């Protein structure tokens, strides 16, 4: 393609992105008047929104538009990279595009929680747990993300994320967008194709007319430390990366979710400075290698991702069917179990006594869900036998005595 054509295409694409962002803001603002961002009211206000006119359409548009934005803004970064658009003096355009993608992604991540359904809450709980599992500053980062002074999902998390969704992210966006606008319109190097720039909007509009956005069952406090959510499509490569490293060593997951995405981001951020040192082909190969990595780990380890519409409720494993749950707890056995729990590496991911999310969920509420010691024993030996999508490593060789003790400890209040 001729350079001028590429220039026009990129200019058109960035105008299209800005139009979509502006419409997303308008839709978000409209919805915010009907939505209440507290655990008590979020889900019921979402139900009202989905049952109302024109609210339902606007909400669906907001949902589909967000997905299109992520894909489009990423594609924009890829095209800019292939066209060498990161080279000086185009810093602002490059960083503006990265910022747009980053914002689109964070809007999606935070927005996913707002309906406060099981999928949203459990996804956020997993994200907090993953952050807390990082060996350096994990707890601090998780506290920052989860709000309410805790490193795990809590009552305050929804309000915290809604604030980010409504105020902080739009602010960051404005900075990024202004950078892009500034470059594109002040220099007037190339003109965009205005008609073409409007076309991408037709995708979310038509999707919104025909396919409603998802809304699952209302989350309860029990979902705050359940990790059963199916992976969302946009976290699918990260999930694959987590699982790939988990399969190498049970405490290496953070390399997949922290180190590698961190290196990828760092590469994109310093690219304008690297560009003097490495050839274009080197840049493309490095970028291609990251893409290939995320694609492969996604395919081989990412598992099935949540449907884009419907309830997306986590698939609940087989529930205990025996009456064993009603049996009184053997306190002496449970006390031994507690020691086993802390000595056998469980506390590495579940915190001492299972009270803290550190890659795995806190377990202090599991007794309200699973009361049967058989369930625990089977789960610990082979988590996938009870929860198909489980990311916990199994302990197939653990002695029966320890399994029984740990099960006794976990199946009662502790």
Which residues contribute to the site for ligand HEC (CB under 6 A)? 226-228, 250-251, 341, 344-346, 348-350, 359-361, 363, 366, 369, 376, 379-380, 383, 387, 390-393, 395, 406, 410
Rounded CA gap, 313 and 214, in Å? Answer: 10
Nearest distance in Å: CB 127, ligand HEC:
12
Burial 151-166 (b: 16+ CB within 10 A, else e): bbbbeebbebbbebbb
Nearest distance in Å: CB 111, ligand HEC:
24
Nearest distance in Å: CB 363, ligand HEC:
6
Query: Tokens representing 284?
Result: 């493309």
Nearest distance in Å: CB 361, ligand HEC:
5
Nearest residue to 228 via CA among 113, 120, 356:
120
Nearest residue to 250 via CA among 396, 397, 391:
391
Question: Which CB, 151 or 346, lies closer to ligand HEC?
Answer: 346
Rounded CA gap, 141 and 146, in Å? Answer: 9
Nearest distance in Å: CB 358, ligand HEC:
8
Query: Tokens representing 26?
Result: 């308008």
Burial grade of 327 (CB within 10 A; 0-12, 13-18, 19 or more): middle
Question: Which CB, 155 or 344, lies closer to ligand HEC?
Answer: 344
Question: Which CB, 286 or 365, lies closer to ligand HEC?
Answer: 365
Burial grade of 10 (CB within 10 A; 0-12, 13-18, 19 or more): buried
Question: Which CB, 74 or 367, lies closer to ligand HEC?
Answer: 367
Question: Which CB, 49 or 142, lies closer to ligand HEC?
Answer: 142
Do the beta carbons of residue 145 and residue 341 sit within 8 Å? no
Do the beta carbons of residue 8 and residue 81 sit within 8 Å? no
Nearest distance in Å: CB 146, ligand HEC:
16
Nearest distance in Å: CB 366, ligand HEC:
4
Query: Tokens representing 75?
Result: 């594609």
Question: Which CB, 116 or 340, lies closer to ligand HEC?
Answer: 340
* CA-based torsion, 106, 110, 115, 119: positive or negative: positive
Question: Which CB, 86 or 254, lies closer to ligand HEC?
Answer: 254
């Amino acid at each position: 393609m001729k350079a001028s054509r590429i220039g026009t295409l990129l200019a058109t694409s960035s105008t299209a992105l800005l139009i979509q962002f502006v419409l997303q803001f308008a839709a978000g603002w409209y919805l915010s008047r009907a939505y209440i961002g507290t655990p008590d009211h979020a889900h019921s206000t979402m139900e009202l929104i989905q049952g109302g006119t024109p609210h339902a359409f606007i909400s669906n548009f907001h949902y589909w538009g967000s997905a299109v934005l992520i894909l489009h803004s990423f594609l924009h970064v890829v095209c800019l990279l292939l066209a060498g658009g990161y080279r000086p003096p185009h810093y602002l355009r490059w960083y503006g595009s990265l910022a747009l993608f980053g914002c689109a992604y964070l809007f999606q991540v935070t927005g996913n929680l707002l309906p406060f359904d099981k999928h949203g809450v459990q996804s956020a709980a997993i994200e907090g747990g993953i952050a807390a599992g990082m060996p350096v500053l994990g707890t601090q980062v998780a506290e920052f993300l989860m709000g309410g002074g805790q490193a795990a999902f809590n009552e305050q998390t929804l309000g915290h994320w809604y604030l980010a969704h409504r105020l902080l992210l739009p602010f960051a966006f404005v900075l990024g967008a202004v950078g892009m606008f500034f470059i594109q319109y002040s220099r007037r190097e190339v003109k965009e194709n205005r008609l073409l720039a409007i076309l991408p909007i037709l995708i979310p509009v038509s999707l919104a007319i025909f396919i409603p956005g998802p809304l699952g069952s209302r989350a309860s406090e029990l979902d705050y430390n359940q990790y059963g959510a199916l992976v969302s499509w946009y976290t699918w490569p990260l999930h694959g990366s987590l699982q790939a490293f988990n399969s190498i060593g049970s405490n290496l997951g953070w390399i997949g979710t922290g180190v590698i995405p961190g290196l990828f981001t760092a590469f994109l951020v310093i690219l304008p400075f690297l560009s003097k040192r490495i050839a274009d082909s080197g840049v493309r190969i490095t970028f291609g290698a990251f893409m290939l990595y995320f694609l492969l780990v996604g395919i081989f380890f990412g598992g099935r991702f949540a449907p884009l519409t419907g309830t997306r409720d986590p698939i609940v494993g087989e529930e205990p069917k025996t009456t064993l749950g009603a049996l009184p707890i053997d306190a002496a056995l449970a006390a031994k179990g507690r020691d086993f729990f802390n000595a056998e590496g469980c506390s590495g991911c579940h915190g001492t006594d299972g009270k803290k999310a550190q890659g795995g969920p806190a377990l202090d509420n599991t007794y309200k869900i699973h009361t049967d010691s058989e369930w625990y024993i089977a789960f610990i030996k082979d988590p996938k036998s009870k929860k198909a999508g489980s990311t916990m490593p199994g302990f197939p060789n653990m002695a029966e005595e320890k399994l029984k003790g740990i099960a006794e400890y976990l199946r009662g209040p502790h």
